[in-house]
């Protein structure tokens, strides 16, 4: 190694003119600078008069209304439609045997006709449940019905509150 280089005291760095003369002022300026944020202690929002005194009763009313609505069972889910169409088809078949000699098959029944019949006749799920016994249920070939992911997603999005499923 070069001996001169090892013993040099000069770093080669420079400062701007009057840098050290102005340094105290610059430091005190920064110390005294008032932050714009310091002058703001609240966001400036207001509320209607007596707003907070009404919250409890509004929420309890909403909860009670919600509890009443949950008891109403939707007839229009696909699973219910499947059960109802099966029962309606059986009913139609029964009538057709007594009224006409022509053979009616399940395939010949129009699904829309069955849905319309169920809607107009106010058939509810308790009525349907009474028509099925355990043996018939277990024989039902659920495995044959392959549900697409898209179908499941659509059902969940239309029929439940997804946020409820996300709370831990």
Question: Looking at 37-45, 77-85, 94-102, 110-118, which segment touches other proteins (CB under 8 A)?
Answer: 37-45
Residue labelled with tokens 């609240």: 42
* CA 15 – CA 20 distance, rounded (Å): 9
* CA 75 – CA 119 distance, rounded (Å): 8
- Of positions 45, 68, 105, 141, contacts other proteins by CB under 8 A: 45
Dihedral through CA 90, CA 72, CA 147, CA 165, nearest 10?
Answer: -160
Q: Does 32 bind other proteins (CB under 8 A)?
A: no
Print the binding letters for residues 61-100 with other proteins: x by CB under 8 A, - otherwise. -xx--x----------------------------------
Least distance (Å) between residue 68 CB and other proteins: 14
Contact yes or no for 83/108 (Cβ under 8 A): no
Q: Does 40 bind other proteins (CB under 8 A)?
A: yes
């Amino acid at each position: 190694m070069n001996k001169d280089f090892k013993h040099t005291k000069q770093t080669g760095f420079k400062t701007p003119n009057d840098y050290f003369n102005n340094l105290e002022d610059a430091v005190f300026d920064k110390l005294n600078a008032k932050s714009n944020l310091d002058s703001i202690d609240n966001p400036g929002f207001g509320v209607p008069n007596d707003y907070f005194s009404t919250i409890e009763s509004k929420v309890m009313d909403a909860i009670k209304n919600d509890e009443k609505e949950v008891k109403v069972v939707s007839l229009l889910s696909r699973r219910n439609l499947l059960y109802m169409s099966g029962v309606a088809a059986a009913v139609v078949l029964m009538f057709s045997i007594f009224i006409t000699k022509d053979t009616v098959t399940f395939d010949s029944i129009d699904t829309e006709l069955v849905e319309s019949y169920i809607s107009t006749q106010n058939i509810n799920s308790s009525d349907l449940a009474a028509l099925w016994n355990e043996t018939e249920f277990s024989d039902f070939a659920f495995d044959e019905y392959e549900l697409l992911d898209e179908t499941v997603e659509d059902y969940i999005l239309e029929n439940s509150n997804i946020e409820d499923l996300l709370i831990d």
